[in-house]
Amino acid sequence: MTKGNRLFGIFLVIVGIFLSLERFRLIDGDIFLLLLGSAFLTAYFITHRILGFLITSSILIWLGLYILLMEQTYWPKLNNYIRAWV
């Protein structure tokens, strides 16, 4: 078994665990996107900087942050506060 196959297998097990946790409503989708994006960012640094991992991780992290912030109840108040300063 090569190192690449082992890492891919570990990655699939971790994704399966997160999908199961999301299915049983133990974690939210935004947290899943943030963790998956972090996993791709870690893979980018481990695999000697393959650019595809960096692009995927940045999209997933920003999408997770967007969903996380839009679900918060204080976000419109914060948006009005920021507009007052601009």
Mean pLDDT for back-to-back runs of 10 residues, the chain (86 residues): 78 84 79 86 88 93 86 65 60
Phi and psi at residue 85, in whole multiples of 5°?
Answer: -85, -20
User: Rounded CA gap, 50 and 48, in Å?
Assistant: 6
Angle at 22 between CA 79 and CA 41, to 5 degrees: 70
pLDDT at position 61 is 93
The per-residue pLDDT for 58 is 95
Cα(83)–Cα(57) distance, integer angstroms: 30
Instruction: Indicate whether this model's pTM tops 0.75.
Output: no
pLDDT in the model for residue 54 = 92
* pLDDT at residue 62, rounded to an integer: 92
pLDDT at residue 55, as a whole number: 94
Check residue 77 and give its pLDDT: 63
Q: What is the pLDDT of residue 37?
A: 92
